Structure 1
Amino acid sequence: MSVNSDTTTAREPNGETSHAEPPGGRKLVAKLAVVVVGLTAAVTLMLCAFGLPSAAGGPHHAPLGVTGPESAVAAVQKQLSGDDWEVTAYDDPRALTRAIENRDAVGGLALGEDGVTVYTASAGGQLIGNAVGGLGTALAEQRHVSATVHDVVPFPEDDPRGTGLASAALPMVLGGMLPAIALLQLFPGHANLRTRLTGVVAFALAGGAAVTAVLQFGIGTLDGDYWVTSLGLGLGMAALAIPLLGLESLLGYAGFGAGSVVMMFLGNPLSGLTTGPYWLPDGWSTLGRLLPPGASGSLLRANAFYDGTGAGGPALVLGVWAVAGLALVLAADRRRGRKTAAAPAA
């Protein structure tokens, strides 16, 4: 009876035997090493992508309004002359609150002889609102007066801290990736390009309506026109999914994987959905708002809390991404048509 073994035995000239390395052993070790190194790099990249923006978070050139006596306003402008705040003087508290509602300022300070009134906009960014509140309290202590905080653009009463908005960041990204993955598996091949594109658009409309319904009627986070908000979310999902379909159609799964990594590791942590755009460093904030997750979050905030003020920019960004993805899909479809026409001649 013989027993199979993964090792082979060779006989030396002196009669002794030696065990040779199993076939393919070195390749297996090298392959395992590549997997371990790759996974380690992926985890490190994920930590950097999600951790560094938070570690470097804080006000970065955040527009702050100030009103009051000229001497007091000038003193505050001099005190806040760094890179954290961009201070603008307003004639009176009414003009200041109107600037906050129009998104020209993230908050403001009304300086009076008997106290300081702090105007915040928590729905515009909880962290930046807290920073404005802390700034006003510190200034009131310096002047030995009291501070009163007034939230100009608050979250709805059902979700005063905006926890639902924070929890929507990852579903918004996955809402663009998962339908692309499912449609690629269910309708593979270039012959189904248009079917996949139709499916993505249909899912974006249904997904935007469903997510908006949960956030607005279930959790109570959103406070705006339901249909406008849902269409905005649907546009955000389509702007993420259609380019992924186009990349896969032209470059295969390598293109899809590269696009997914960019959206997950850059688009998601730099979206500023929970913090607002002025909490991230300038370059990261700009990049985040040019990617679909960040533009979708900005559009959601504009439609849900500011009656559409500031919605034009992010809607344009999302439209460009959707059209670019459609162009990739059409290019792949045309390439398939040329190959099909050339097949009979061959």
Structure 2
Amino acid sequence: MRTSPFARAVGVALGAALLQLVMVVAFSWPAARTAPRDVPIVVTGPQAAVVAGLLDRERPGAFDVRTAPDEAAARAAIADREAYGAVVTAPSGPKVLTASAASPLVAQQLGAMAAQLRPGGAPVSSPVQDVVAADSDDPRGAGFGALALPLVMSGLAGAVLLTFAIPSLAWRTAGTAIFAVLGGLDVAWIAQGWLSLLPGSYITLAGVMALTVLAVSGTVVGLAAAIGRAGFGLGALTLLLLGNPLSGATSAPELLPQPWGAIGQYLPPGASATLLRSAAFFDGAGGAGPLTVLAAWAAAGLVLVVVGGLRGRSAGEAEHGREPALA
């Protein structure tokens, strides 16, 4: 039974409206609900217990407050990416340590909170020190946050081009790897050499970018090989519509609605943002987890390519088996 043009138009319009709804919700909902949720911070000094209690009363659920023996230990926790900031108490008043490199938005909120700290009920002066600062050319992290979406979109576009332009699955896989290497070198040069968004080793940053591109494009190429063109849609839905808004690249995973902030760290955009911060500003501290996530996605893409190759071979053998034997 053939579908009438009217029914087809209505169906396509409804599908497009549903996709639009999903996109608006995916991108606007996390941004509209940004707030601190169990953000790890450290308190130390003689009034540490007082400050911890004050934070728990004034901002319940906002901070995961831990104690440290002294200021040096608090700074070490920030440098090791175990905490986003610290409150160091002293008789002269508390001092707030932040790390805008880890999250400019969290650093801003901690700075605003500093002026409200009143241990014992008395107003005090609360200086703020940014101990791991963001790049001076991108102090608010806007440029860094804008890297996530182009990386994902270019990875998706590259996967589509490779799939349609290269019939051979083996050469398509090789092309994906070459694309990832070239993409990593190019994007790292733009981010560091031209826009000056990221300090650190160029080769290290290029490696992170390349692994990100490989995780995205490799997964989509593998999905297309394994399940056909539907793999493009599944890849875009997972990596773009879900992964990008949940990446925390413009804020922090702990500022997103939970458990979505945590889930976002298991997707390439979120893992890439975290690994880039670690590599650029923290000498790799806290990078093992996101590195494992990106490597796992890249490996999954390779597995899907193998599955697609086996499926294609089986289909070819079945087709050959149906051919009449030659006399």
TM-score above 0.5, yes or no: yes
Partner of 1:274: 250
One-letter amino acid of the structure 1 residue matched with residue 74 of structure 2? L
The SS at the match of 2:140 is coil
Which residue of the partner structure matches residue 73 of structure 1?
48
CA contact (8 A) 2:104 2:139 kept: no
Q: Secondary structure at 2:101's aligned position in 1?
A: helix
2:8, 2:318 → 1: CA distance?
A: 40
Local SS of the residue matching 1:146: coil
8 Å CA contact 2:279–2:285 kept in 1: the answer is yes
Give the aligned partner of residue 102 of structure 1: 80
Aligned partners of 1:334, 1:44: CA distance in 2, in Å? 37
Distance 2:175 2:166 in 1: 10
Unaligned ranges ≥5, structure 1: 1-23
In structure 2, how many angstroms separate the alpha carbons of the residues matched to 1:139 and 1:289?
A: 32
Which residue matches 1:13? none
Partner of 1:92: 70
SS in 2 for 1:139: coil
Instruction: Give matches, 1:286-325, under 5 Å.
Output: 286-325=262-301
Matching of residue 162 in structure 1 with residue 166 in structure 2: no
Match of 1:248 among 200, 203, 224: 224
Residue 140 of structure 1: how far off its partner (Å): 4.9
Contact 2:215–2:301, Cα closer than 8 Å, also in 1: yes
Counterparts of 2:118 and 2:171, CA distance in 1: 62
Provide the TM-score with structure 2 as the length reference. 0.92
Structure 1 stretches of 4+ with a deviation exceeding 6 A read none
Q: Distance in 2 between matches of 1:289 and 1:185?
A: 31
How do 1:119-134 and structure 2 match up within 5 A?
Answer: 119-134=97-112
2:131 alignment partner, one of 139, 146, 152: 152
1-side partners of 2:309 and 2:235: how far apart? 19
Return the offset for 1:302. Answer: 0.9
Q: Please list every run of 5 or more consecutive structure 2 residues that lacks an aligned counterpart in the other structure.
A: 323-327
Q: Which residue of 2 aligns with 1:52?
A: 29
Following superposition, the deviation at residue 290 of structure 1 comes to: 0.5
Aligned to 1:35: 12
Question: What's 2:316 paired with?
Answer: 340
Amino acid at match of 1:101: A
Residues 1:111 and 2:85 are matched in the alignment = no
- AA matched with 2:107: G
Residue identity opposite 1:323 in structure 2: A
Among 143, 155, 158, the alignment partner of 1:179 is 158
TM-score by length of 1: 0.87
Count of matched residue pairs: 317
Is 1:58–1:128's contact at 8 Å kept on the other side of the alignment? no
Which amino acid in structure 2 is aligned with residue 77 of structure 1?
A
CA–CA distance in structure 1, aligned partners of residues 177 and 104 of structure 2: 32
Against the structure 1 CA distance between its residues 76 and 294, is the aligned structure 2 distance closer, same or farther, given a 3 Å change threshold? same
1:244–1:259 Cα contact (<8 Å) kept: yes
Name the CA distance, whole Å, in 2 between partners of 1:58 and 1:199.
42
Superposition deviation, residue 335 in structure 1: 2.2
Name the CA distance, whole Å, in 2 between partners of 1:32 and 1:340.
36
CA distance change for structure 1 residues 97 and 199 in 2, over 3 Å: closer, same or farther?
same
- State the secondary structure of the residue aligned to 1:138: coil
1:158, CA displacement in angstroms?
2.3
Once residues 195 and 331 of structure 1 are traced to their aligned partners in structure 2, the CA distance between those partners, rounded to angstroms, is 16
Partner of 1:9: none
SS of 1:124's equivalent? Answer: coil
Counterpart Cα distance in 2 of 1:158 and 1:46? 31
Confirm or deny: 8 A CA contact 1:118 1:149 kept in the other structure: yes
Q: Distance in 1 between matches of 2:196 and 2:319?
A: 57
Residue identity opposite 1:248 in structure 2 = A
> 2:63, 2:52 → 1: CA distance?
9
- Does residue 206 (structure 1) correspond to residue 182 (structure 2)? The answer is yes
Q: Which stretch shows the higher mean deviation, 164-173 or 140-149? A: 140-149
What is the Cα deviation at residue 175 of structure 1?
A: 2.7
Larger Rg computed on CA atoms: 1
Please give the alpha-carbon distance, in whole angstroms, between the structure 1 residues aligned to 2:12 and 2:147.
32
C-alpha separation between the residues in 1 aligned to 2:315 and 2:19?
37
Contact 1:140 1:147 in 2 (8 A): no
C-alpha separation between the residues in 2 aligned to 1:136 and 1:91?
20
TM-superposed CA distance for 1:311, in Å, is 1.1
Counterpart of 1:10? none
Structure 1, residues 93-128: CA drift from partner, whole Å, max 9, x if none?
111111100111100111222232111111101111
Q: Percent identity, aligned pairs only?
A: 37
Please give the root-mean-square deviation of Cα atoms over the aligned residues, in Å.
1.7
Stretch of structure 1 that moved more, 276-285 or 135-144: 135-144
